[in-house]
């Protein structure tokens, strides 16, 4: 019998056939924990699926989860959260951008040290961002650093989607965001206002080497601005 997972990894995909095998290999090599990898997809023609199905028989804990809430990365993440059952939930991408080697430490900080959210931080000391659009980097860095100093958020990188959550935080803070990755900033701001314990550890982010990014700055910026304002005006209750 396989041990109960201590962490569920939610991995939304959209035609990541060129990346998924390497992404799964990295997780297997760098996350030596009892785990499930929940690969969440929108449609049956996604070219990620044949690679995952071929690996399922030899990778315990690897599962496909169909997103039935409506297409898009946010609904895929919602579907993954609904399927999660481990104490710790990590959201990570299939494009090889995230520093999955830090996941064991993230899990340790939640399970052993009592944190509720652990952010993989590009903008704290020791963190890095390699590649990617300059404007996107400037905006995310500016948002993270300004919210750290002005709103007191205990992370320098409030917009990074790569992070670990205590599962009951995700259950207790319903996501109101309507699209994209703004939910990361939303949950950080809400959890901070609710007095939840948040910390960060250095992480290196790499721009994808294959496939096409689904990040849409113009469409998603208004959603980020909404939760940026929330973070500035909602402080922890004393």
Q: Which two tokens stand for residue 41?
A: 């997809």
At a CB cut-off of 8 Å and minimum separation 6, what does 45 contact?
none
**Is residue 215 pLDDT above 80, yes or no?**
no
pLDDT band at 220 (very low <50, low <70, confident <90, very high): low
pLDDT band at 120 (very low <50, low <70, confident <90, very high): very high
Condensed to tens digits (0 to 9), the pLDDT of residues 62-97 reads 999 999 999 999 999 999 999 999 999 999 999 999
**Is residue 236 pLDDT above 90, yes or no?**
no
Condensed to tens digits (0 to 9), the pLDDT of residues 4-55 reads 899 999 999 999 999 999 999 999 999 999 999 999 999 999 999 999 999 9
Q: Is pLDDT larger for residue 96 or for residue 223?
A: 96
At a CB cut-off of 8 Å and minimum separation 6, what does 108 contact?
none
Using DSSP's 3-state secondary structure scheme, residue 7 falls into strand
Enumerate the β-bridge partners of residue 91. 10, 163
Condensed to tens digits (0 to 9), the pLDDT of residues 159-194 reads 999 999 999 999 999 899 987 789 999 999 999 999
Q: Nearest to residue 96, comparing CAs of 206, 215, 10, 181?
A: 206
The whole-number average pLDDT for the span 228-234 is: 93
Report the C-alpha gap between 66 and 83 in whole angstroms. 10
Q: Which two tokens stand for residue 113?
A: 């040290």
């Amino acid at each position: 019998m396989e041990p109960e997972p201590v962490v569920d990894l939610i991995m939304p995909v959209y035609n990541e056939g060129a990346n998924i095998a390497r992404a799964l290999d990295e997780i297997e090599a760098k996350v030596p924990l009892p785990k499930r990898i929940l690969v969440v997809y929108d449609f049956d023609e996604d070219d990620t699926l044949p690679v995952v199905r071929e690996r399922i028989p030899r990778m315990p804990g690897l599962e496909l989860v169909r997103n039935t809430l409506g297409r898009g990365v946010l609904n895929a993440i919602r579907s993954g959260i609904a399927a999660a059952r481990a104490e710790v939930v990590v959201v990570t991408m299939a494009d090889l951008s995230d520093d999955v080697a830090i996941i064991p430490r993230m899990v340790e900080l939640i399970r052993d040290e009592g944190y509720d959210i652990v952010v993989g931080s590009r903008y704290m000391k020791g963190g890095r961002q390699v590649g990617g659009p300059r404007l996107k980097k400037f905006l995310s860095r500016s948002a993270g650093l300004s919210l750290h100093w002005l709103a007191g958020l205990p992370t320098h990188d409030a917009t990074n989607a790569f992070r670990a959550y205590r599962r009951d935080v995700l259950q207790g803070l319903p996501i109101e965001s309507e699209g994209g990755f703004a939910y990361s900033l939303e949950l950080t701001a809400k959890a901070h206002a609710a007095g939840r314990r948040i910390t960060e550890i250095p992480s290196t982010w790499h721009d994808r080497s294959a496939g096409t990014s689904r990040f849409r700055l113009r469409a998603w910026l208004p959603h980020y601005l909404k939760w940026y304002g929330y973070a500035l005006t909602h402080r922890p209750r004393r």
